Every structure is written in structure tokens, then in C-alpha cells.
Amino acid sequence: MPGELTSGPGWAYANGYIAITGDGTVLDGITTTSDISVEADNVTIRNSRIVVGGEGFGIAIRHAANFTVQNSEISGRAESGSGRLMVGIKDIYADSAGTRVIGNEIYYTSTGVQIEQGLIEGNYIHSLGKTGDDHVNGTTSNGGSKQLTIRGNTILNKYDQTDAISLFQDFGPQSNRLIENNLLAGGGYTIYAGANPGKESSATNITVRNNRFSRIYYPKGGYWGPATAYTSGGGNSWTGNIWDDTGAAISAPGR
């Protein structure tokens, strides 16, 4: 798509991208070099390959509830230059409930997944792309209070910035986040845990547990360390996080 097909039930190709506008649309087993815009509820993309470069998004979610992307490959065309993709999967307006990103391979993107609520589980995010002044993120959230779970992923960022997983307060407080059972490496800090300087009290109910931190890129996991921006107040917890090579416990940042 849009080679053999340019339209189908609930979707159409026009203006250089694929728009999904029909509730309940399923795309299964497609290959495309075009952006996909999800503009309907209960959409599923699975077993597919999406290869897009440039300043856009492999999959853009726009006011769409209960979107699932599963067992798919989302990538840029190259790791650097114009072939790298800015974001693999992005909730454009940060209001799409019920998003599920499960079991995908995501690479050659400066940010792998950017959503504020939902589930990111079992993905392999690696070989992140960078061009110019890109900030490089495995997964990132810019604020929100509805549940976001990041579980069982392998996220590797060879760059000395920014992260494998980040919770930032760019557009509001961070709360109700669960980061567990991931294998993580790289970035400036491997995890930014939501308590931005001066905003520590508004980071609440953030759980970071049972993650494994690898030193394959840097002796401290990330260039500066395994994690930062964590506060022990507000119902937050840091438990069971260990070094992958030794099994030694990693203390909560600041302790």
C-alpha cells in the first residue's frame, strides 16, 4: 500500500499518507512506505511493515480510542540523515485512550513511542535514529495522569542522550505510571522518572520495578547513570531494579 491497493474498508490513501477513518478497521499483513494516520476508534494494525523517513510519524494517532499496533515493524529508512524517522508511533494530541503497542520492532527513529496513556509491552526498540539536534528517546511521555504501563520491553539507546524511557513534565504532571520488567540500556540517563527539577511534588504514583539495566554502552548504564528525576514521595516506588550483568541491586536515584 499504496502499490497494489490505494483504498479498502475504513481506509484510503491520499495526499501522500494512509488515513484510517472507519471505526473497527483492521490492517493485517500490509507493507507501506507511507505515514499512517489513525483517525477512528478500535483500529488494529498487525503483522505489518511500515518504513517511513523524515520529519513525520510512522503511525500518528489522532483523537482515536482503543488503537492497537501489534507484531509489526516500524522504522525509518536509515539510521541517520533524511532517512531517519522522527517518531515511530505518536499520540498527536495526547488524548487517545486505550492505546496498545505490543510486540513490535521499532528502529531508525529518534523517538520510538510517544504516548501519554495506554500500554507499551513486549517491544524491541533499538538502533535509534539521529540527525542534527535530535533528542533521542526509546519511549517518552510529556505529561498525564491516566495509566501508562511500560512492561517487558527491550529498549536500547546507544547515544549519550536522552533516554531509553522518559517521563517529562513538559505539558503537565506525571502520575499513574508503571515501568516494570524491561531490559534497558543507554541514553544520558536510561530512565527519567517523572520528577522534573522544581516539580517533584507533582510526580505521583510512579512505580519503577524489576527492570534490568545493561552496561553494553556505558559503565553507568546511561552516560550519566541508570536513572534520574525520581522522588520517593507521592506514592512512588523503586524496587527490584538490578544490573543485568551482575544482578546487583540499583538504589533509587538520590539515595
Closest by Cα among 174, 248, 163 to 207 = 174
Output the pLDDT for position 254. Answer: 74
pLDDT tens digit string along 36-57?
999 999 999 999 999 999 999 9
pLDDT mean over 101-123: 98
pLDDT tens digit string along 179-192?
999 999 999 999 99
Largest CA distance in the chain: 58
Strands across the sheet containing 189-193? 7-8, 11-14, 17-20, 35-38, 54-61, 85-91, 109-114, 137-141, 163-167, 189-193, 225-228
Share of the chain above pLDDT 70, in %: 100
Q: Would strands 124-126 and 154-157 be described as parallel, antiparallel, or unpaired?
A: parallel
pLDDT mean over 231-252: 96
Fill in the DSSP letter of residue 252.
P
The answer, yes or no, to whether residue 159 has pLDDT greater than 60, is: yes
Prediction pTM value: 0.97
**Angstrom distances, CA of residue 115 to CA of 7, 66, 145, 255:** 27, 13, 12, 29
- Domain boundaries of the chain, sorted by first residue: 19-243
The answer, yes or no, to whether residue 147 has pLDDT greater than 60, is: yes
